[in-house]
Amino acid sequence: IWVRIRLEPSFVIPAYLPPTSHLQRMRLFLCLFLLTLSTAGFAQNKTALKLWYNKPAEKIWESALPIGNGRLGAMIYGNIPQETIQLNEHTVWSGSPNRNDNPNALAVLPEIRQLIFDGKQKEAEQLANKSILTRKSHGQMFQPVGNLMLTFDGHDTYTNYYRELDIERAVAKTSYTVGDVTYTREVLASFPDNVVVMQLTASKPGKLSFSASFSTQQKPSEIKTTTAKELTMTATTSDHEGVKGMVTFKGIARIKNAGGTLATTDTSLIVKGATSATIYVAIATNVNSYKDLSGDENVRAATYLNNGYSKSFAAILKTHVAAYQNYFNRVKLDLGDTEAANLPTDERLRNFRSVNDPQLVTLYYQYGRYLLISSSQPGRAGEVPGQPANLQGIWNNKMRPPWDSKYTININTQMNYWPAEKTNLSEMHEPLFKMIRELAETGQETAKVMYGAGGWMAHHNTDIWRINGPIDGAFWGMWTAGGAWLSQHLWEHYLYNGDRAFLESVYPILKGAAQFYADFLVEHPKYHWLVVTPSTSPENAPQAHGGSSLDAGTTMDNQIVFDVFSTAIRAADILKKDADLVAVLKQKRSKLPPMHIGQHGQLQEWLDDIDDPNDKHRHISHLYGLYPSNQISAYSTPDLFSA
């Protein structure tokens, strides 16, 4: 097999030690070969990277097509008589700045630990529910802004329907024919101009007529038109779990029509007899940061709208595509194609298990990159990075979404960012780094108040207000490694970029994550290793523990602490800092439990050999050491790798 590889100019090989043996040189070659596959300059079919369908989404939100610029998100349904453009903005969350630590935790921590060491895990879980779980908010909700509705009278019967999401250009398109007129809609969320823009065209002059209106589930809210022929929507987000909703937002829509007329009612804009029309939508909130709601959403929205409205759709499209492709075009991938690629995307997906369709794998890979670019953007000139991608990226149509659409940091948030460095989208990591910096601020108090420890920590969930307390129930929430795992993304970024100034800036965060565990670890009375207690292997609960998820020194926690100590040690060595701390961390790292191979030839999930071969739990948390960490290797740890 011949493979042509071309490194893009911005591609940087991670730092590595010079190979000192033939085996190391071969391993290095293979690593670099596999690594460059994800950024190789293969020839690629320029028309293939589209999701396309021959029917509208109708009322199915999951069938709509997502666009986004990191700050704004929209779902495009492609419906005909009444189109829906469902809108999100990254800071539209319920509640307001708050903390949810439970100060009762520190007093009961010794008792909980003793119960676990005594084999009374269920009793420990019950006590944690009573005295460690938060008594306040369990996290706020990411909420929708509302919908832009477009109504087209006389378009109930149509032919030649087609809709697509072009992930090479980040543009959604719908086209159809009514009578002898073809109608086309193109919509994008502009990266440079911070507006959602849609252009509607008719193939014959004077044949485009429609009305535009807003709707929202938010209460209180107000929707109206202005004398400047703008459609506006203002609202305040919800109270939730005792936290007052204080995020106020403003949405504005303005239409630029070619031909015909533009009129208003109290709550809608009406275009009649046009040939084309461009709709500009701007949205802004009062959120400045997780602790500051003093912004002016009215001024912000008006500024975004005026800047965008001054430009034609063609001009906005050109700069939007260029800004997007600056990231997207770094990676080309060609796995070949077959006749299966000629079918609509939904049919290809249904057929995939029984049909050879390698191009769908390429599309899926690039669609993942598209979604990360669209939901997580670095700061533009004069702006800080936005919010990181949440459980649904930036797209949500429900006031009470699943799991509040917040940040589940026992894997989901991290998973969103696994493609960042590996698929040459390093800058997309910036919003996550901003959140980690903020959690490191709020998490210092959590570590001190709840556990009497230095450094910082976070449990398994957080939200826009950067809460750190344990939520939902001890079964899920009694897990201390959320912040620790997140901190490893900072180290990965350094490995890929070799930016010493960046490492210097994040070193206090890496150090703080290690300091927490240096204080929190306790000696196991049976094995005499240093262990995290209480500990969980997220969401799994062996019957040997009475159906409780709590334990001492679970494998995943041991692996994460090993990484936290190791990265802090390596960062300190590189920066020539904190020699005394490095000595302490090395000593404590040497006392962490090793990974064990159990009676079934398995990598143990727990310190005790209690794994059940019939355990079909969907989480395989103890494989953290294999990925995303690199503690298990076919070369250096073949027995663990086999297990």
pLDDT digits (tens, 9 = 90+) for 548-583: 999 999 999 999 999 999 999 999 999 999 999 999
Residue spans of beta strands (DSSP E) within 295-447: 407-408
- Angle, helices 500-520 vs 482-497, to 10°: value is 150
Between 104 and 45, residue with greater pLDDT:
104
Provide the mean pLDDT of the chain: 93
Predicted local confidence at residue 380, as pLDDT = 78
Per DSSP, helices labelled H in 576-622 are: 579-589
CA distance 42 to 243: 52
CA distance 358 to 353: 11
Q: Is the pLDDT of residue 103 over 50?
A: yes
- pTM over 0.85, yes/no: yes
pLDDT tens digits, 203-246? 999 999 999 999 999 999 999 999 999 999 999 999 999 999 99
Per DSSP, helices labelled H in 253-312 are: 297-309
> Long-range contacts made by residues 628-634, C-beta under 8 angstroms, separation at least 24?
628/414, 628/418, 628/488, 628/492, 629/488, 629/559, 629/560, 629/563, 631/559, 631/562, 631/563, 631/595, 632/595, 632/603
Predicted local confidence at residue 612, as pLDDT = 92
Q: Is the pLDDT of residue 599 over 70?
A: yes
- Asked if residue 516 lies in contact with residue 541, where contact means CB atoms within 8 angstroms, the answer is no
Cis peptide before 220 (omega within 30 of 0): yes
Confidence of residue 382 (pLDDT cuts 50, 70, 90): low
Q: Is the pLDDT of residue 39 over 80?
A: no
| Strand bridging mode 261-264 / 221-225 | unpaired
Determine how many CB atoms are found less than 10 A away from the CB of residue 203: 14
**Which whole number is the average pLDDT over 277-289?**
98
Helix (H) or strand (E) holding 608, with range, is none
Q: Is the pLDDT of residue 643 over 50?
A: yes
Angle CA(62)–CA(63)–CA(65) in degrees, nearest 5?
Answer: 95
Residue spans of beta strands (DSSP E) within 123-267: 146-151, 159-166, 171-178, 181-189, 196-202, 208-215, 221-225, 230-236, 248-258, 261-264
- Asked if residue 53 lies in contact with residue 345, where contact means CB atoms within 8 angstroms, the answer is yes
CA distance 229 to 225: 6
pLDDT tens digits, 118-140? 999 999 999 999 999 999 999 99
Confidence of residue 15 (pLDDT cuts 50, 70, 90): very low
Residue 228, token pair as written in the block: 């400047």
CA distance 138 to 448: 20
CA distance 502 to 182: 53
Residue type, 414: Q
**Which whole number is the average pLDDT over 176-194?**
97
